[in-house]
Structure 1
Amino acid sequence: MSNQPRALVISPNWIGDAVMAQPLLRLLKQAHPELAIEVLAPPQVVPVWRRIREADHIMVTPFRHRALQLGERLRTARSLRQRGYDAAYVLPNTLKYALIPWLAGIPNRVGYKGEMRYGMINVMHHDEPQRSMVPFYAALADAPAPAAPSGLPRPTLVVASEETEAICRRLEIARDRPLVAFAPGAEFGIAKRWPPAHYGELAARVIEAVPGVQVALLGSPNDRATCEQVQTYAAAAAGSVLNLAGQTTLDEAIALTAQASAMVSNDSGLLHIASALNRPVIGLYGSTDPTYAPPLSAVSRTISLRLECSPCRKRECPLGHHDCMNKMSVERVWSELAPILAPVAV
């Protein structure tokens, strides 16, 4: 190995969290321009890391979700030991991820206490209540301190124009017509989701207000049925509402999002991808707290009814009514979206 200083970043498991870790890498590079940063990431977030300039090398984890797989972790640690890291930044708070750099003998192992990781984490930070995700991760760039860092750069992803051109060509999306993206799904659970009927009505309003607009519904294969419902509720304009859930890889969804005139999304990975691409975004929050993980693009709006029972942070509404999303009116969301679309509605 060369004498170049090297750092390992162990990625979070969620797409949005990986996006919000990007400012940490930027701070590390600013402080140590010669530093080589390598990322160990689960397969589902690798497309995000490929869009982060500061990630010099990406390795894919072989671990199953929630499985200890001690043998795999030992083998991973042995291979990492040979790469000669000076420091490791352990972004997940679990014990099993802290095991890896400890077993690899990496001298400086930076992270939060998490699951009582004393010894495994030897540069230990302590989280403040209500710290949002960007400063939560960015704080690891410096020595442990009681105050959250301020003046941080916003998360940034980079997409080559030829990638966007290729996916638009494959999906027959015109680049000379406005594109509005909706992300009606949320992998965490249904409590995060605005009703498909509301998305459908909003799509109809967009199509009525913006001549030639294309509305694309994005998501994973698990979101396909939800997006079909949105199409049904937007029946009057069905030909202009494209259900692309499960029809793109995450790489392609990222490239397509870079083309969007605006994104309306539940609190999901696609919301934070759009924000990091600096697209105008509207984030819809019910069971989660917008102050914890807000979109940070130049034009961003968050909508939350802030009911007494929210944020509950549950996968399903514990009270059974889902008022935090059901009572979020289409009119309320349209009042934020319409001014954003006004420049393209000509």
Structure 2
Amino acid sequence: MKTLIIGPSWVGDMMMSQSLYRTLKQLEPSNEIDVLAPAWCSALLNRMPEVNQAITMPLGHGEFALTKRREIGKSLRNNHYDQAIVLPNSFKSALIPFFAKIPKRTGWKGEMRYGILNDLRKLDKQAFPLMVERYIALAYPKDQIHSASDLPHPLLWPKLNVKQDEITQVLSTFSITQEEPLIGFCPGAEFGPAKRWPDYHYATLADMLVKQHAKIIIFGSANDKNVGEQIMAKMTYANKCINLAGQTQLEQAVSLIAACKAIVTNDSGLMHVAAALNKPLVALYGPSSPDFTPPLSDKAEIIRLMTGYHRVRRGDTEQGYHQSLIDIKPDSVFETLMNLIMRCQKSNE
């Protein structure tokens, strides 16, 4: 059995897709799973033991490029896949398996994909409230799973494998020691500051943790570098904080998160990475809702002071922060984090 997955293009979605791969391997251990995805995804896919190989998608996100998609599909014909599972809902994402002449092409209905996908599923969003459930359902025959309650439980959550020598090497690269417990901060978020816990709250929390003999590492993309600088500028003990936002490749960030004792994070892709690394984490939510894409971990604690989903691009303050996130106080996060770490330590004893 050989399966081609057309993977998603966001860090969080890619992490949640591992639940599908784990389920496919459980159903058929000999299944060879290849994932076609952007090049950066290899940093995650190479740490998923269920994945046979990551195939680089040479087209940019949103690029149609019909001729190029036909060429890619033709190049995959010799791989003799039995099935393709298309995770994005777009028409163009289903074209490569069609041109590859893969016999069974599975995916949820979206953007007029009749014929392009010949195992087309109609999604009942109420029946599958979580994105991870929608991914996992595609591992089963069309008429077998009608709702999330039909899925075997417990669900197979994402689980990344990081080797100790990878951790040791990246710690050495950035001259970081583990003499003090490392606490990771992921203060970035897509779509701007409305989904971010304020930098001044992160700074206050960082100082509280330093007083407990911790060292802080700030993770994120180049877009988050300034946020990291603002946090450090507001700290009293900035010498105990390292801003690596924009300084690491994704594979390095994964290994460094694996070295951390715990993570404090906004609703972000790195939140899902930390969950898949089984790190104790506190996730801070504002207008975005954890009801669809929560951190998939029993070591995660979610703090949110509002209900429902709110499509907010800008917050209530001049800095763009949302009031519901401003109202989450550092004392509360500190207490939640300390209790979580203690609980995880007891469960490991």
Q: Which residue of 2 aligns with 1:146?
A: 146
Of 25, 42, 48, the residue aligned with 2:21 is 25
In the TM superposition, 1:118-197 aligns within 5 A as: 118-129=114-125, 131-144=129-142, 145-148=145-148, 149-151=151-153, 152-197=155-200
Paired with 1:185 and 1:101, the residues of 2 have a C-alpha distance of 35
Paired with 1:190 and 1:104, the residues of 2 have a C-alpha distance of 42
Of 4, 8, 12, the residue aligned with 2:8 is 12
C-alpha spacing 1:113/1:344, structure 2 compared with 1 (3 Å): closer
Paired with 2:323 and 2:257, the residues of 1 have a C-alpha distance of 29
CA-CA distance at 1:48 after TM superposition: 1.0
In the TM superposition, 1:1-346 aligns within 5 A as: 5-129=1-125, 131-144=129-142, 145-148=145-148, 149-151=151-153, 152-208=155-211, 210-211=212-213, 213-234=214-235, 236-307=236-307, 310-317=308-315, 322-342=322-342
Paired with 1:306 and 1:126, the residues of 2 have a C-alpha distance of 31
C-alpha spacing 1:282/1:121, structure 2 compared with 1 (3 Å): same
Cα deviation code 1:132-158 (max 9, x no counterpart): 121111111002332112411111010
Is 2:187–2:228's contact at 8 Å kept on the other side of the alignment? yes
Residue segments in structure 1 that go unaligned for 5+ positions in a row: none
Could you say what secondary structure the match of 2:34 adopts?
A: strand
CA-CA distance at 1:181 after TM superposition: 0.0
Is 1:277–1:297's contact at 8 Å kept on the other side of the alignment? no
Paired with 1:60 and 1:101, the residues of 2 have a C-alpha distance of 15
CA-CA distance at 1:88 after TM superposition: 0.3
Cα deviation code 1:39-68 (max 9, x no counterpart): 101123221111110000111101112111
Q: Which amino acid aligns with 1:312?
A: H
CA-CA distance at 1:267 after TM superposition: 0.9
Could you say what secondary structure the match of 1:23 adopts?
A: helix
Is 1:185–1:266's contact at 8 Å kept on the other side of the alignment? yes
Is 2:196–2:321's contact at 8 Å kept on the other side of the alignment? no
Paired with 2:322 and 2:344, the residues of 1 have a C-alpha distance of 34
Paired with 1:253 and 1:182, the residues of 2 have a C-alpha distance of 12
C-alpha spacing 1:61/1:318, structure 2 compared with 1 (3 Å): farther
Q: Which amino acid aligns with 1:109?
A: R
CA-CA distance at 1:103 after TM superposition: 1.7
Could you say what secondary structure the match of 1:82 adopts?
A: helix
TM-score (norm 2): 0.91
CA-CA distance at 1:341 after TM superposition: 4.1
Percent identical among aligned pairs is 39
Is 1:10–1:40's contact at 8 Å kept on the other side of the alignment? yes
Q: Which amino acid aligns with 2:26?
A: Q
Is 2:197–2:284's contact at 8 Å kept on the other side of the alignment? yes
Paired with 2:207 and 2:334, the residues of 1 have a C-alpha distance of 11
CA-CA distance at 1:175 after TM superposition: 2.5
Could you say what secondary structure the match of 1:134 adopts?
A: helix
C-alpha spacing 1:315/1:41, structure 2 compared with 1 (3 Å): farther
TM-score (norm 1): 0.92
Is 1:178–1:344's contact at 8 Å kept on the other side of the alignment? no
Is 1:286–1:311's contact at 8 Å kept on the other side of the alignment? no
Is 1:23–1:154's contact at 8 Å kept on the other side of the alignment? yes
CA-CA distance at 1:317 after TM superposition: 4.2
Cα deviation code 1:178-200 (max 9, x no counterpart): 00000000134332211111111
Aligned length: 336
